[in-house]
Structure 1
């Protein structure tokens, strides 16, 4: 049936012409101008059967090419991040601590990037070779260019019955351009108000041929984009980027500042030697020798005057995109068309995680842990003693001493120069035969990621050079020696996915008030992932770089959908899919309905089963190191106080690494979801949808560490070596502890517990013409409210995480705010289009109940319990930081048509320069010592952004 709304043009293209990023519900066109034409039939994401009514039983949000161009954004990742349905677990480019550093993914309903299926032209694409948290496969949306996109459809309902694995929370279908006539040139540049982040973009699109007249169309579109980095130093005038927390009741954790947390011994702007056996400890200047006294001396050091301004760590990485899309469509006869698309999307980004500081190891170095091909090796590069002997030429203390400082001539942080190249070659054949509409498609897709590493230190080589006298700790070392100590090395990771799809649809018979339509099809894909460990990581020569994954996945499936209109105004759908994988088979059904008794009112609902198949990172030859929570060594720091006599300070508040092991016997995650909503047009010009959703995921694949109460870590310890031991008065003495330091513990993947979430989503659009030919106003509101987000652990224990920081075990403790909304107001008159968009994220608590935290204002607070953050460690955390405040940003975009062919565009993002609220519990940026949430509040960290551009068509 066609749900006609006769009072206004409510085609989705009209509603979305406002430039709103929150597409209002897709209503059908009913204007007099089009009523005389035969309505075009389209296939909407979430169904296989073509239709004239784009308002489907399932909630679908649509962003058109016009919306994208008018958004003021410069990347698809930025665009999708602002969707109201995008929740915790989303992966943004500003997340410096991500395993999949450099890439971006979307997390509908907050169920992680692994539960949202991203398609290109309705088909699968090879996932990014680096998985989120080294586990969840996802498509990197940051690599897809603006000018290649025709539209984006966001299906906010489970869809495994049609698309198979990963569509638990919904589907994002990015539709690339199908054909193009004429030529379009565009260029724009932008800059931030507070420094850094200069952005330039240029594109050209051109096409020839008319399908109806010439029988073919061929086009090419190319785009270049370069975005400059924003460093911590560019924003350290703001509290959230300033590491000196003393005025806020916390610690001064700036680089190079001695304090009680580091036993007043830390790398600073000039190397120094310290005699750990000297009388008086750190309070005695005679125990220190500053190797370059012109930069730092004892008094200056102790007062914090030798601190280092962080000019290296990224808030926003430098990125460069080069994209090319070529397409050609050929009419074979009246009924058949063959289309080809070839694309190469390349993204280069320079990332540093801000955590592997290029500094000397003053205490005994136990060696780098390495993990490759299922084998854990520890201590390959162990340095039994890092004490600089008294006989060293630069040691004037007369006793063995420890060397503190940054290693000169090397990158101060571990840096990854990441170039990801996504290639896709696709053929689509569609036509009619024997009463069937037939679509056959096949494609070859690959993502190749080349990473150049710098800033990693070969500790054994470093101390060998120090002990044999060839190394100058202040600088001036030869390039050859620097390369030995801090080698530059590379790695290549690949992810491939080849697919074949065949779908046929037809009307079988007349049933009740309409036809009974059937669609059926077959699917095949073969996925391989070859992401080996870097060579110097595999042998333990340097610290861990990326998780390794080697494995494959083959899926064959058959699926079908039925659509019927048994009585007037009632549309019914039923679908099902049978999937075969190597270790399991899965059948997933779904059903939906839409009842529209009048032009002003409709009801719709869906019910769906879903699943997520274990991927190569979980069942293949794979593994990674991870940390999930700060602990105190149960033996070497039993009471958690680094100053207690007998404790080893470095064993307090440490984040021990866990070795993640795969489990070949894992079964798939399962889900049950349903939606129930209303479709309204109560008055002329106003249209709205309101949908309730409820999703339950069971049999989740999680790491045993931090999730399974029966899991007891069996810590592997290094050899007993001399370490600093607290004297009880704030000083330390070198001694021999009872045990060696914790090196790691192993943790397998397990099927355990689940997640239940429910909420409501609203899309409201209103359009009206102003009197006296003053133009047209369009308003759109997209809002999402989470009623509940419950994590179920083993033993029936459950935690309500809606409105809290949790779950911390997923994607950087990105938080679970209850409310997200996007409102846009657009005015157009003649050559002028003005669009304002307001993005809102509600506040939430920094407490994560799943970690057993109930009070964040005690000593250490949540900032310690959630993962070792040091803002308020050993100090009472102010109540203010127990909540992350709400955040609202406003974007303004103006377009003015200077002539029929030339358009001027100007944008101001974050118009009022709102700064991000403090989030002391997220660990996405903890390595950079910045206290903001990069997944939810990145726009605030960037600050006010101006851009100006021109587009010319001919």
Structure 2
């Protein structure tokens, strides 16, 4: 549906408002309450600090109750949030078991990135994960929230910077814990999958009691999960399950010796044939072939890769309140969490490129040929390990109550800490040189590093007669299971933590009375301190592990804020909200103070009809890791656009097509890449706007339609090495991809030349190839999204056959705009062309439930729209899954439920198949390989 069609629907709804106003469906005498009862019913809903009786305000808020989380078949709070229809961006989560944050759970609401949605627990900020998302952004790990403890989740789907400050660009998620349970209950849940693998066991205990002046709630949750691997799914267990065509459908190249630049008439990257006998010496590898390249020793590791890694988690929570007197109450709530996880990596490996020269001691040795050695190790040879040990605690305490009859207050202190440890088995670069060449890489008379290419020099006398077997080291094809490699590998470790401390004082109440009613207000003063550190071991920090680097860093900052919000009745039907806030950041960066504001109007011509609109400015301070990250190095492939364009004799007239051709088919080179924090980053700014209607045409039916636009300018991001390579090529060529002139001597181009460093390689070429790239975060131009959200809820109560509830939620992304550099043209086609963000065009959920006596059933559908396919030339069909939940209460003590997740065993559409494992877009189709899953739960209340 086009957005203009939604606007038309909104117009039709608006035209009916006069009729609704003149014929209210609920009699006035039925809705009149005393002033005292009204005050008692006032609550604070996310999106405003003002207590009010109306749940619907100027900004839309979605509420998911604990009962809905269970009924809809979500395994935990994270899955419930992830399945919000507003979650239209792809996300890297614990399914990416080889990622930087393989045990974490993050969401990407509106596709702006995990760090741009503020996550609160009982209205307070949570600690960020010390290990940054994707190695770049700090984020809140939703795994630390226990499902048992949750009363509801509130999601404000528009920006809330004027209320909450930084990070509330794409909205606010506030998880509210239970605080009113009395009694004791214990519940157990067992989970299994139809095709096997991934069993989970969860045990919950919750209790509570109260006295005249106090109440106390507590709970524990233990959650254990076994691993789920490709071998557990017959469509993900072999390399031939990939839609790719030869020569890519081959075994892993575990033991490989190749000629990168050819030799004796062989083409580039031809393999030396080891012979079947050499491969037979290692029971893990088979004699294999790659068409066009040659034979090697390899195996199919597809089935060993994890769809969900094994992990154990423990949560505990407690909530205590004490009524000091009629006006003041003391409160404290605490949360503790611990997680141990094992992410299954691919086999540990080692590789090295070697230049064989005539005389290694010569000042300018004569180059003969290059060799590329690659050796992957079975778990018996080098442990295959990646473990995560994480823990966190959150303590909030303070006082709340009344200062006067008209003025309420809340004084709150929050303490949060997060500890993080990881250990990953890696092979040492120098260990491989010692093992396979008998050299330590440091003796200039035996072995010499060729500048910063990472290429080592040997001479023919170092090799056997075949020209590739080392005379002094181990045989590459041996099976090392008796400790021969001890000391040549180690554990790459990271040890970090984060913390947040805050003190806030809020007051709220009524200011003065106008003809239309009382002006209500809320004001807040906050002080926050946050910091993080992530320390990596010296071997990792020095880049001595093959193909691996750390993401260390450390930094802290103080943050002071003051804000106020007013609710002003303009007429009996029209009220306005005005909010303003000033945030001041104090750290070593150039980020200082930033004001934000929000203006809103809500028009209620009748009790069952609301028109609302709001506009607010937003801002976000750069993540601590973006500012304070250490210099981190790693190797990755980079397209050399300049070499490719010269090879194709590019001109301004052919530039556009040739740049696209180079992006698709251009040769890439393995380059050393560097990233580091940048204290000169500016804060992100922007706005959030929404306009919508809420309508209850009959008492049992609620409808809402909201159109939103979110815009971020100066968005902090890191450009890829290939992007910098294209920009550098434009400077060197003197024209850009559009054929427009570029001044290669400008300061802009000079800065690019320092980022892309070229150096003569082992083979002479017209252009010195790229050997090192310096990356850092930048403030990009902008990102903007326009779309609409629709909500429909209907309840039907009958005397004979029970109660029926229907709910539909729908989010439509109409347009996404981006501008990478401030000098670029704005790209308005991102929604349909983005490859990395994988945005959906729409998302929808449908929930229908039936309750009769002690039986409740729910059928829940989750539909995600199309995404870009692997080839980038089309979009995939939509993908729908269904969950079925049945709950039965046997008596007042015992109840049980049975849930089937993915009822039809649906897989991502065939058109969505990717060439790389797991052969579908796992950023977009999260849990796409799990298949049908069963939950069996029992609950006993004492």
- TM bucket, shorter chain: 0.7 to 0.9
Q: Equivalent residues in 2 for 1:484-633 (5 A)? A: 484-542=487-545, 543-582=547-586, 583-624=591-632, 631-632=639-640
Would you say the 8 A contact 2:548–2:634 is kept in 1? no
Change (3 A) 1:693 1:151: same
Cα separation, 1, equivalents of 2:372 and 2:226 = 39
* Match of residue 909 from structure 1: 901
Change (3 A) 1:298 1:197: closer
The answer as to 2:883 corresponding to 1:829 is no
* Match of residue 939 from structure 2: 951
Once the two structures are superposed, what CA deviation does each residue of 1:533-578 show, in whole Å capped at 9, x if it has no partner? Answer: 3332112221434312211121101111111222112222111101
* Match of residue 194 from structure 2: 193
* Match of residue 781 from structure 1: 808
Would you say the 8 A contact 2:669–2:770 is kept in 1? no
Q: What RMSD, in angstroms, separates the aligned Cα atoms of the two structures? A: 3.7
Would you say the 8 A contact 1:363–1:385 is kept in 2? no
Change (3 A) 1:362 1:683: same
Change (3 A) 1:56 1:637: closer
Cα separation, 2, equivalents of 1:29 and 1:177 = 34
* Match of residue 243 from structure 1: 239
Once the two structures are superposed, what CA deviation does each residue of 1:735-760 show, in whole Å capped at 9, x if it has no partner? Answer: 77788874430123222310111111
Q: How far has the Cα of 1:471 moved from its partner?
A: 4.5
Q: How far has the Cα of 1:507 moved from its partner?
A: 0.9
SS at match of 2:111: coil
* Match of residue 817 from structure 2: 790
Would you say the 8 A contact 1:330–1:337 is kept in 2? yes
Would you say the 8 A contact 2:287–2:297 is kept in 1? no
Cα separation, 2, equivalents of 1:335 and 1:120 = 25
Would you say the 8 A contact 2:279–2:297 is kept in 1? no
Cα separation, 2, equivalents of 1:206 and 1:660 = 49
* Match of residue 936 from structure 1: 924
216, 219, 223: which one aligns with 1:218:
216
Q: Please say which of residues 537-546 and 566-575 is displaced more in the overlay.
A: 537-546
The answer as to 2:778 corresponding to 1:750 is yes
Would you say the 8 A contact 1:693–1:760 is kept in 2? yes
Q: Equivalent residues in 2 for 1:343-382 (5 A)? A: 343-352=335-344, 354=346, 358-361=348-351, 363-364=353-354
Would you say the 8 A contact 2:803–2:851 is kept in 1? yes
SS at match of 1:884: coil
Cα separation, 1, equivalents of 2:288 and 2:924 = 42
Q: How far has the Cα of 1:837 moved from its partner?
A: 0.8
SS at match of 2:353: coil
Would you say the 8 A contact 2:492–2:536 is kept in 1? no
Would you say the 8 A contact 1:910–1:939 is kept in 2? no
Q: How far has the Cα of 1:427 moved from its partner?
A: 0.4
Q: How far has the Cα of 1:483 moved from its partner?
A: 3.9
Q: How far has the Cα of 1:333 moved from its partner?
A: 0.9
Q: How far has the Cα of 1:677 moved from its partner?
A: 0.5
The answer as to 2:876 corresponding to 1:898 is no
Change (3 A) 1:227 1:599: same
Once the two structures are superposed, what CA deviation does each residue of 1:401-433 show, in whole Å capped at 9, x if it has no partner? Answer: 875542244688974311221111110310111
232, 235, 249: which one aligns with 2:230:
232
Cα separation, 2, equivalents of 1:283 and 1:508 = 81
Once the two structures are superposed, what CA deviation does each residue of 1:893-937 show, in whole Å capped at 9, x if it has no partner? Answer: 111111111111111101111111357798xxx8x6323222331
* Match of residue 331 from structure 1: 323
The answer as to 2:794 corresponding to 1:804 is no
Cα separation, 1, equivalents of 2:849 and 2:247 = 46
SS at match of 1:244: helix
Q: Please say which of residues 271-280 and 95-104 is displaced more in the overlay.
A: 271-280
Q: How far has the Cα of 1:386 moved from its partner?
A: 13
Cα separation, 1, equivalents of 2:890 and 2:31 = 28
Change (3 A) 1:317 1:804: farther
* Match of residue 267 from structure 1: 254
SS at match of 2:885: strand
* Match of residue 412 from structure 2: 441
Q: How far has the Cα of 1:824 moved from its partner?
A: 0.4
SS at match of 1:942: coil
What's the TM-score, normalizing by structure 2?
A: 0.80
Q: Equivalent residues in 2 for 1:876-895 (5 A)? A: 882-895=874-887
Cα separation, 2, equivalents of 1:538 and 1:748 = 18
* Match of residue 44 from structure 2: 43
What's the TM-score, normalizing by structure 1?
A: 0.79
SS at match of 2:928: helix
449, 452, 455: which one aligns with 2:423:
452
Once the two structures are superposed, what CA deviation does each residue of 1:614-655 show, in whole Å capped at 9, x if it has no partner? Answer: 222222244445799852475599769xxxxxx9xx993346
Q: How far has the Cα of 1:77 moved from its partner?
A: 1.9
Once the two structures are superposed, what CA deviation does each residue of 1:363-405 show, in whole Å capped at 9, x if it has no partner? Answer: 33xxxxxxxxxxxxxxxxxxx7799x9xxxxxxxxx9987554
Once the two structures are superposed, what CA deviation does each residue of 1:768-795 show, in whole Å capped at 9, x if it has no partner? Answer: 024x511111000111001111102332
Q: How far has the Cα of 1:298 moved from its partner?
A: 5.6
Q: Equivalent residues in 2 for 1:691-770 (5 A)? A: 691-705=706-720, 706=723, 709=727, 712=752, 714=754, 742-770=770-798
Change (3 A) 1:742 1:458: farther
SS at match of 1:596: strand
Gaps of 5+ in 2: 1-24, 361-368, 439-471, 649-661, 728-747
Q: How far has the Cα of 1:447 moved from its partner?
A: 1.2
Once the two structures are superposed, what CA deviation does each residue of 1:680-738 show, in whole Å capped at 9, x if it has no partner? Answer: 1113411111111011111222235538955646567798776xxxxxxxxxxxx7778
* Match of residue 9 from structure 1: none
SS at match of 2:163: helix
Would you say the 8 A contact 2:493–2:536 is kept in 1? no
SS at match of 1:51: coil
Q: Please say which of residues 175-184 and 465-474 is displaced more in the overlay.
A: 465-474
* Match of residue 874 from structure 1: none
Q: How far has the Cα of 1:494 moved from its partner?
A: 0.7
Change (3 A) 1:912 1:408: closer
Q: Equivalent residues in 2 for 1:659-698 (5 A)? A: 659-698=674-713
* Match of residue 12 from structure 1: none
Cα separation, 2, equivalents of 1:909 and 1:360 = 41
Cα separation, 1, equivalents of 2:29 and 2:647 = 74
Would you say the 8 A contact 1:919–1:932 is kept in 2? no
* Match of residue 726 from structure 1: none
Q: How far has the Cα of 1:459 moved from its partner?
A: 2.1
Cα separation, 1, equivalents of 2:417 and 2:108 = 22
SS at match of 1:78: helix
Cα separation, 2, equivalents of 1:819 and 1:550 = 39
SS at match of 1:938: coil
Gaps of 5+ in 1: 1-26, 258-265, 365-383, 390-398, 641-646, 723-734, 847-855, 863-878
Q: Equivalent residues in 2 for 1:110-125 (5 A)? A: 110-125=111-126
Q: How far has the Cα of 1:286 moved from its partner?
A: 6.8
* Match of residue 428 from structure 1: 398
Change (3 A) 1:605 1:739: closer
Cα separation, 1, equivalents of 2:532 and 2:114 = 18
Would you say the 8 A contact 1:919–1:931 is kept in 2? no
Q: How far has the Cα of 1:665 moved from its partner?
A: 2.0
Change (3 A) 1:631 1:234: farther
* Match of residue 16 from structure 1: none
Q: Please say which of residues 597-606 and 79-88 is displaced more in the overlay.
A: 597-606
Would you say the 8 A contact 1:445–1:497 is kept in 2? yes
Cα separation, 2, equivalents of 1:627 and 1:171 = 37
